[in-house]
């Protein structure tokens, strides 16, 4: 009889890609993907804990499975990812949801097969959280679900310890994959027909730091030199490590998209210091100037946090002013969320929710107005779009240009995986719409 799996993913691109690795493991065990969790024989939750709401979301959805599991006793429920790796959280999960069969951490993804086989032989829940990061597991074949886009991990973990952030605690210390493994994975994916490669790490600029391997700009250059037509992106860059050399590599290699995600978090120097970001707002602006000197048309996107402990109105205004000055193509905006175990969680001066809410509304309004202004300039222009998907509701294909702008268009034929020319006729806030030419 056919056996089905269902994976629910929360959090960042890293997790999305890790879910592809989980899918690879499950299909190796003979399971097939299914749309509805109700039909699954194994349901995996790949969780995130970057902010409290990400955690609550996962807890809520796992809670909803109680009834299903009661009617479907043989079903296996497995919970993994960053949430389970937090100290004490695996026990909380087990107590709250005793019907969860497997709880595994971020460092033992490669053991999932073993854990499933173990669970099939015992009644008791299998709980395995490793404290220390394992070595990098090569050879875990992901089952990629996002053609024509493919993600490749280049580093795992993070050493930066930004004072608000849980990632270093749940993902461990930074470790880099060997460049030859990364380059050959990219080559293989391009040969298979993938059209966009994104190199992934919490701080890609510090790739291979302290080892004898090549630097990140060099790695990027070598991947970009692979034969064939494709786009190359990378995520995420930390401003403190963003170098002139990297800007030059972007400028000199046409396959590297002119789009850089460079999270600034705040425009206030005192907040940046308390966040342990290791740069000032002037340093950040300087990096943008260097980038634009070599890549004048580069789209810069960012992440911003409001309501960090002790953030004053003046600090917040510094953030607004920096946003005005840089003119981001788009930005992710977050209300600071206190994460147990981080340095910021122990700080006095937590900001009342209503203050943070008012600030984020103001910030979103500014960011959106900039994005709208930028997209309006697209009208009448013809852009090259990599078609990524079909939106059944809108009955339109969609894809992005090299700067990351989403565009919708109609087509009688399936265009997924093709580079197409679209003449833009409308800009709807964040996205564009046009006609194939």
Nearer to ligand F3S, 202 or 375 (CB): 202
- 10 Å CB burial of residue 436 (0-12, 13-18, 19+) is middle
Count of other CB atoms within 10 angstroms of residue 26: 26
CB crowding 194-211: b at 16 or more within 10 Å, else e: bbbbbbbbbbbbbbbeee
Indicate the residue among 89 and 238 with the shorter CB distance to ligand SF4: 238
d(CA 200, CA 404): 16
What is the spatial distance between Cα 420 and Cα 402, in angstroms, rounded to a whole number? 12
Chosen from ligand F3S, ligand SF4, ligand SAH, none, partner binding at 168 (C-beta under 5 to 8 Å by type): ligand SF4
Verify binding: residue 160, ligand SF4, rule CB under 6 A. Answer: yes
d(CA 218, CA 233): 14
- Does 158 help bind ligand SF4 (rule: CB under 6 A)? yes
The DSSP line for 387-398 is EEEEETTTTEEE
CA–CA distances in Å: residue 112 to residues 30, 197, 263, 349: 14, 26, 33, 42
Q: Is 161 left (phi over 0), alpha (psi -120 to 50) or beta?
A: left
Q: Which one among 12, 65, 246, 298 touches ligand F3S, defined by CB under 6 A?
A: 12
Binding-site residue total for ligand SF4 (CB under 6 A)?
A: 10
Interface characters, 241-280, with ligand SAH (x: CB under 6 A): ----------------------x-x---------------
Count of residues in contact with ligand F3S, rule CB under 6 A: 12
Let me know: does 199 contact 220? Beta carbons within 8 Å: yes
Q: Which of 19, 84, 108, 236 binds ligand SAH (CB under 6 A)?
A: 236
Which residues are 5's β-sheet partners?
33, 42
Compute the residue count for the chain.
437
CA 200 to chain centre: 8
Q: Is the Cβ of residue 88 or residue 380 nearer to ligand SAH in the bound state?
A: 88
Give residues 160-189 in contact with ligand SAH (rule: CB under 6 A): 164-165, 167
CB-wise, 203 or 371, nearer to ligand F3S? 203
Select from 178-186, 216-224, 336-344, 387-395 the region that touches ligand SAH (CB under 6 A). Answer: 336-344
Identify which of residues 48 and 335 has a Cβ nearer to ligand F3S in the complex: 48
Q: Which helix (H) or strand (E) holds 74?
A: none
> Applying CB under 6 A, which part among 140-148, 167-175, 277-285, 308-316 lies near ligand F3S?
167-175
- When asked if residue 77 is in the footprint of ligand SF4 (CB under 6 A), the reply is no
Phi-psi region of 30 (alpha: psi -120 to 50; beta: other; left: phi over 0): left
Site for ligand SF4 (CB under 6 A): which residue of 14, 100, 165, 351? Answer: 165
The interface with ligand SF4 within residues 180-219 (CB under 6 A) comprises 202-203
Of the candidate spans 48-56, 59-67, 217-225, 280-288, the one that interacts with ligand F3S by CB under 6 A turns out to be 48-56
Residues near ligand SAH, by CB under 6 A = 50-51, 164-165, 167, 202-203, 236, 238, 263, 265, 303, 305, 334, 336-337, 339
Residues near ligand SF4, by CB under 6 A = 158, 160-162, 165, 167-168, 202-203, 238
């Amino acid at each position: 009889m056919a056996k089905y799996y269902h994976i629910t993913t929360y959090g960042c691109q890293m997790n999305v890609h890790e879910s592809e690795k989980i899918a690879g493991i499950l299909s190796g065990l003979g399971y097939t993907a299914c749309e509805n969790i109700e039909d699954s024989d194994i349901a995996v939750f790949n969780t995130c804990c970057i902010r409290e709401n990400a955690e609550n979301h996962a807890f809520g959805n796992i809670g909803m499975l109680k009834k299903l599991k009661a009617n479907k006793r043989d079903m296996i429920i497995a919970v993994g990812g960053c949430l389970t790796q937090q100290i004490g959280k695996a026990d909380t999960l087990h107590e709250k949801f005793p019907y969860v069969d497997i709880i595994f951490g971020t460092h033992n993804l490669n053991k999932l097969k073993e854990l499933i086989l173990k669970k099939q032989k015992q009644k008791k829940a299998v709980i395995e959280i490793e404290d220390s990061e394992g070595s990098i597991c090569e050879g875990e074949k992901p089952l990629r679900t996002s053609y024509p886009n493919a993600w490749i991990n280049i580093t795992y973990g993070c050493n930066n310890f930004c004072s608000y952030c849980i990632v270093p605690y749940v993902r461990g210390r930074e470790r880099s994959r060997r460049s030859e493994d990364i380059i050959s994975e990219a080559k293989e994916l391009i040969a298979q027909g993938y059209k966009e490669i994104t190199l992934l790490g919490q701080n890609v600029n510090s790739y291979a730091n302290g080892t004898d391997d090549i630097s990140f700009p060099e790695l990027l250059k070598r991947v970009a030199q692979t034969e064939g037509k494709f786009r190359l992106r990378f995520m995420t860059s930390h401003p403190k490590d963003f170098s002139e050399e990297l800007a030059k590599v972007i400028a000199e290699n046409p396959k590297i998209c002119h789009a850089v995600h460079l999270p600034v978090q705040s425009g206030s120097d005192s907040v940046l210091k308390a966040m342990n970001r290791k740069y000032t707002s002037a340093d950040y602006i300087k990096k943008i100037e260097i980038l634009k000197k070599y890549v004048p048309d580069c789209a810069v996107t960012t992440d911003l946090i409001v309501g960090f402990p002790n953030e004053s109105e003046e600090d917040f205004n510094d953030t607004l002013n920096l946003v005005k000055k840089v003119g981001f193509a788009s930005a992710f905006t977050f209300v600071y969320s206190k994460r147990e175990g981080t340095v910021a969680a122990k700080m006095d001066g937590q900001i009342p929710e209503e203050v943070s809410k008012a600030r984020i509304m103001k910030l979103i309004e500014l960011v959106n107005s900039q994005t709208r202004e930028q997209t309006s300039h697209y009208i009448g222009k013809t852009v090259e779009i990599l078609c990524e998907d079909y939106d059944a509701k809108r009955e339109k294909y969609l894809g992005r240009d090299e700067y990351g702008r989403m565009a919708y268009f109609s087509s009688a034929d399936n265009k997924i995986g093709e580079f197409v020319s679209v003449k833009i006729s409308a800009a709807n806030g964040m996205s564009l719409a046009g006609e194939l030419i």
